[in-house]
Structure 1
């Protein structure tokens, strides 16, 4: 069986056992009957290598559509389904409609909102809170999977949690700077920074108290700076986020006290961007989302980024070897 279609079945079209219909990763309802039929045909293809009879009859009547042959292998079918999910041009969708209808899978009009670069790829029940950051400085990007961000302490998600002593230090710092007592102002700024905050100069030359978050991009592992493509991974992330405000959906905190989350920049899902660029691995040990595996697989197949090498070293193995002195 072709790996591409097997993966689509296991990732996109796997129904929940207790419900007649299930939701795909982007909230699209998937027909259990259609999935069962697809699973059956995949199994039969393994044994007979025969494409199901009648599949070609389900292409809509269109000159453009009929110039393209029906799928003859699982890989061909996988491409059609994947392209439809990505909402390609109308001429292409006309071809794909018949193949999806053959299995009772969602038709294009039900997939309007499927945009992988902007649709959240997280499960809300596991998501703890959301950050909206100030514009990111290039120096705040540590590597291909780590960013330091700042959030205005006046934001509703932050204001109630600012320690009283931090508020007081910020007020005293402003007063010290007003009388040009910079030594006291610097000492107060250090206290603020030590508490995880800092005071920055706002657009109207006013002081803004902000909270600092170190973000670890959830579900990916980029090459370390000293590794091949480590520098490129950081540079690409800088180009994407520099000067932009980010939306960060926080799930957890790691053992380095970094907030682990999904990051969005102007509608682009940053983890997807890095995986498709071939500048990060899917960090399977910490995240099993099937779309991440698919994006890595696409980059591997295209041999982009670090996948230009036949056997790139995994960053978690590189770190382990460094710890062991290898």
Structure 2
């Protein structure tokens, strides 16, 4: 292991030498990203070699930080996603254009910053102006109906996107809402942290170091009351901001309605322990962020509609795909559609509000 780590840290020159000295192999396992997989393109071999070493050591190239803006921890996440994407590619990429496209599509699907994508391409000497322009200005697959699949463009109307820390399933309130936390290392978050929250986080860290856990707990409670939380993630204490999310375009049965419990259970199963991509359209009158939610290539609203555990909330969302997914569930009598005439949740809320105000 030690010789591999030392070899790994010798920098770009040795990585490029690796690419120049080895010839293409046609006998290698397509699931491998390192030896015996090689190519005549030095830049491609350099990335293949770095991914090979990442799989062994979980380390990323030290010089990469000079080309990108995100933290080393974020870079580790990139390489994990790239490693998975490379292994899934059939056939694996061989040319600089194919590898550049794999990087752009993999990282932009996860909504990383454009500066980081460009920096990573530059680091490996891969083409980027044309391919970035091609993907940014084109209409990515699936976006015509407001569903994101790949590319740098976001659906029309999206104000911003964010990436969550792993979701805790027990905090999911119902079938169309969830609570998420976003790392404040994110550039959009880091510039907006209240000063008293930062101070409390620092004081909490010091209190814990001195094993003064009672004081640390009091400080954490203040942080929580301000809409933040310190979360232990990958052996690191992370200051994170809380967001209440309302799934855009669907309306699940209320908990006291038929299939309300089942809807919540399905949503918990979908998001529990997952790091999600959240595309925010607006903030509603209750302070919830109305958003599309994805885990990798899984679109959460699509699953809920196809399983018959939510209605298409057509008054607030006109997307054709949503209507189609609901009709599929109705035709198959799935979930709530086993009922001959299921009550719409918005009508249920309206009727129950009236009952509450009756003398």
Q: Structure 1-normalised TM-score?
A: 0.62
Aligned to 2:223: 192
More helix by share: 2
Of structures 1 and 2, the one scoring higher in RCO (CA 8 A, sep 6+) is 1
1:219 CA drift (Å): 0.5
Residue 174 of structure 1 pairs with residue 202 of structure 2 = no
| Residue 120 of structure 1 pairs with residue 151 of structure 2 | no
Shift of the alpha carbon at 1:134? 0.8
Q: How does 1:208-287 map to 2 (within 5 A)?
A: 208-287=238-317
Q: Say whether residues 1:311 and 2:341 are aligned partners.
A: yes
SS at match of 1:288: coil
Instruction: Please provide the CA RMSD for this pair.
Output: 2.3
The secondary structure found in structure 1 opposite 2:191 is helix
Give the whole-Å Cα distance in 1 for the aligned partners of 2:242 and 2:329.
33
Contact kept, 8 Å, 1:116 with 1:269, in 2: the verdict is no
**Residues 168 and 112 from structure 1, CA distance in 2 versus in 1: closer, same or farther, beyond 3 angstroms?**
closer
Distance 1:246 1:130 in 2: 10
Q: What is the aligned counterpart of 2:321 among 281, 291, 305?
A: 291
Question: Is the 1:133–1:150 contact (alpha carbons within 8 Å) kept by the matching residues of 2?
Answer: yes
Structure 1 residues 158 and 115, CA gap change in structure 2 (3 angstroms):
closer
Q: Distance in 2 between matches of 1:180 and 1:143?
A: 38
Deviation at 1:296, TM superposition (A): 0.8
Q: Is 2:189 aligned against 1:152?
A: no
Which whole-Å CA distance do the structure 2 matches of 1:143 and 1:301 have between them?
A: 25
Equivalenced residue count is 215
Unaligned runs of 5+ in 1: 1-110
Cα distance per residue 1:119-141 (max 9 Å; x no partner): 41896341111010111111121
Question: Which structure 2 residues correspond to residues 84-123 of structure 1 after superposition, within 5 A?
Answer: 113-114=141-142, 119-120=147-148
- The equivalent of 1:102 in structure 2 is none
Q: Quote the offset at 1:114 in angstroms.
A: 4.9
Determine helix, strand or coil for the equivalent of 1:161.
coil
C-alpha distance after superposition, 1:256-281 (max 9, x if no partner): 11111000012111111100110000
Shift of 1:157: 2.1
Post-superposition Cα deviations, 1:26-46, rounded to whole Å, max 9, x if no partner, equal xxxxxxxxxxxxxxxxxxxxx
Contact 1:117 1:269 in 2 (8 A): no
Displacement of 1:187 in angstroms is 1.8
Alignment match, 1:162: 193
Assess, with a 3 A threshold, how the Cα gap between structure 1 residues 117 and 238 changes in structure 2: closer, same or farther: farther
TM-aligned CA deviation for residue 118 of structure 1 = 11
Q: Is the 8 A contact 1:118 1:269 kept in 2?
A: no
| CA distance in structure 2 between the partners assigned to 1:325 and 1:146 by the alignment | 25
**Equivalent-residue separation in structure 2 for 1:254 and 1:188 (angstroms):** 30
Return the match for 1:202 from 205, 228, 233: 233
Cα deviation, residue 116, structure 1: 10
Give the structure 1 partner of residue 171 of structure 2.
140
Deviation at 1:202, TM superposition (A): 2.5
Three-state SS of the structure 1 residue aligned to 2:188 is: coil
Determine whether 1:131 maps to 2:159.
no
Residues 145-184 of structure 1: per-residue CA shift (max 9 Å, x gap): 0110111111122111111111111000111112222222
